[in-house]
Structure 1
Amino acid sequence: MTGNAHGVNSAAPSPTEQSERRIGLACGFAAYLIWGLLPFYLRLLQGVPAADVLAHRILWSVVVVVVLISGLKGWGRVRAAVRQPRLLALLLASAVCIAINWLVYMWAILAGHAIDTSLGYFINPLVSVLFGVALLGERLARLQWAAVGLAALGVAVLTIERGALPMVSLALALSFGTYGLIRKQAAVDAATGLFLETLMLAPVAALWIASTPQGLIGWPAPTVIILALGGIATAIPLMLFGVAARRLPLSTLGLMQYVAPTMVLLEAVLLFGEVLDPARLAAFCCIWAGLAVYAFSLRRPVARAAPTR
């Protein structure tokens, strides 16, 4: 958006700009690589209920983000954020969305439905496009509508074959799409936003853990350590993504986001023994075709895009 407002600079990027881009690419790929490897981490927690994993993830994330904010000297930004009621309301809503997303994702991985999670995150970009049209007044070209239609066809194929909607995939796509929509309205940096989101969720997480027989540290020592590492697995990729988002064009980030669900799909089929049945393969093919059409539509020159001011 800001690029259109300031015009297109045809000059070659400066060494500083090239360095910033390299940093952005490295951080972006690192973030998506961590997210793509997350199923291996979660499978170490098989036998722990997904709700317990979520509660630990929230509490340990608060600890990790406190350390990060202290290291980055970001408490001034936190104090400024808590004085904004509208911002706090937005972050409370985004916290609920991301908690739902995390819970569904972790349950699906622990229950052996990694393919369904991959499908959900492939659907997510096109869900975000629909949110932009329905809620933000954005307009789509014909090719972009065709891309959305192909994704809808993929969902329809699964629904008809199974006799029910692919609830895990849709829940992940809708919850993360809603999270992104809300965070788009919240003017806050990644560390401050994550700290306040997890802080708002922490009382519920603490009450949940207190109500379980194991409590905070009642699990075997290796399990406690793995649960605690959930804070790092949550905070670090989000921080890396924040660095990448400030240094890379949105189009580049948009292409990179398919790294994680591609990794999860390959892990599910090649390593976890899940079956990519014909219906799911057909759904994936429809959604991949839709994403390809949408990516192509973004590369086409828009002749009528004359600046108005």
Structure 2
Amino acid sequence: MQTDRNGVIWVVASFIIWGFMPIYWKYLEHVSSDEILTGRIVWAFLSTVLVVLLIRGGGQLIHDFRQLWKNQRSFWSLFAASVLITSNWFIYIWAVNHHFIVQTSLGYYMNPLVSVLLGVLFLKEKMSSAQKAAFVLAAIGVITMVFFYGKFPWIAVGLALSFAVYGFIKKNIQLDPLRGLAIETMFIFPFAVGYYIWLFITGEARFLHVNTQTDVLLVLTGVATALPLLLYAKGVQRIPLYLSGFIQYIAPTLMLIIGVLMYHETFGQQELLSFSFIWAALILFTTSKVYETVKMRRRHV
């Protein structure tokens, strides 16, 4: 029971940090999204490896990598997870710094529903009638947004899909969270270093060319990236998938509040209608999950 409680605390903390992240990225609005992403990968890898070495886990890190290589399925699954989270980071950073915070919140509201859909498609899990109705409501919400805006909400859908699949893969790879994150960022690190070199050669790099505050914020993207991911990876393995999905509502709620109240993004009747369908779907989905859990516990009493 104590382990489960700790898992909840870690996952809640990770989503609170993610919820406030738009404020951090706004301070780097003068830096291009691709450079922020590049710096985020580089510093996340370096900071994670540094922590591993400080706690004398270097030997175990090498051992983990060798074991992963022996299990090619896990190795390439983690590589795929690394690509997915990198894509998620880029979409998110670009969206925040181009005034789409409200749509990013929609994407993370949709994420739990996509996670369940993955379970149905790949784990042959069955959905109840209430959960099927929740998917219909969510679909209506997305269609409503397409109707009003005349274009597909690719930011929201891209964020939901990439993070849901990332979580699905991570759930099935048994690795120490810290060392797993080091290996995960290592996959993309060489590409990031190469791109950073190109930015410096072409004179487009903002790092070391603007001011001290920009440099410090770019370096600290490593900590800002690694800390919530580490908390999430450590916690998600200790709690049921449906519970982590429920906790995920914290981040998009904070994002929505920040986008509307702090940065004055549009949230009128059209947005309210679209979000209402999503919220109704989440309420229906969560209620059905809680009912199923209570019912199962009563059977085992």
Instruction: Report the alpha carbon displacement of residue 232 of structure 1 after superposing the two structures with TM.
Output: 0.5
- Residue aligning to 2:145: 158
- Residue aligning to 1:5: none
Instruction: Report the alpha carbon displacement of residue 135 of structure 1 after superposing the two structures with TM.
Output: 2.0
Instruction: Report the alpha carbon displacement of residue 43 of structure 1 after superposing the two structures with TM.
Output: 0.3
Is 1:130 the counterpart of 2:117? The answer is: yes
Instruction: Report the alpha carbon displacement of residue 21 of structure 1 after superposing the two structures with TM.
Output: 5.5
Instruction: Report the alpha carbon displacement of residue 22 of structure 1 after superposing the two structures with TM.
Output: 5.5
State the AA in 2 paired with 1:45.
L
Instruction: Give, in whole Å, the separation in 2 of the partners of 1:236 and 1:158.
Output: 33
- Residue aligning to 1:59: 42
Q: Which moved more, 1:240-249 or 1:206-215?
A: 240-249
Aligned positions of 1:39-58 closer than 5 A: 39-58=22-41
Inter-CA distance 150–119: structure 2 relative to 1 (3 Å threshold): same
Instruction: Give, in whole Å, the separation in 1 of the partners of 2:58 and 2:252.
Output: 34
Instruction: Report the alpha carbon displacement of residue 80 of structure 1 after superposing the two structures with TM.
Output: 2.8
Cα deviation 1:149-188 (Å, max 9, x = unaligned): 1111111111112222101001101111121222233222
Inter-CA distance 30–299: structure 2 relative to 1 (3 Å threshold): closer
- Residue aligning to 1:167: 154
- Residue aligning to 1:145: 132
Aligned residues: 290
Asked if the contact 1:209/1:216 (under 8 Å) is kept, the reply is no
Cα deviation 1:194-221 (Å, max 9, x = unaligned): 1112111111111111111237533422
Aligned positions of 1:205-284 closer than 5 A: 205-212=192-199, 213=203, 214=205, 217-245=208-236, 248-284=239-275
Inter-CA distance 192–144: structure 2 relative to 1 (3 Å threshold): same
- Residue aligning to 1:38: 21
Asked if the contact 2:31/2:206 (under 8 Å) is kept, the reply is no
Instruction: Give, in whole Å, the separation in 1 of the partners of 2:7 and 2:108.
Output: 22
Normalised by the size of structure 2, how large is the TM-score? 0.88
Asked if the contact 2:170/2:233 (under 8 Å) is kept, the reply is no
Instruction: Give, in whole Å, the separation in 2 of the partners of 1:223 and 1:113.
Output: 22
Aligned positions of 1:42-121 closer than 5 A: 42-83=25-66, 84-85=68-69, 86=72, 87-121=74-108
Instruction: Report the alpha carbon displacement of residue 68 of structure 1 after superposing the two structures with TM.
Output: 2.2
Inter-CA distance 301–225: structure 2 relative to 1 (3 Å threshold): closer
Instruction: Give, in whole Å, the separation in 1 of the partners of 2:247 and 2:230.
Output: 16
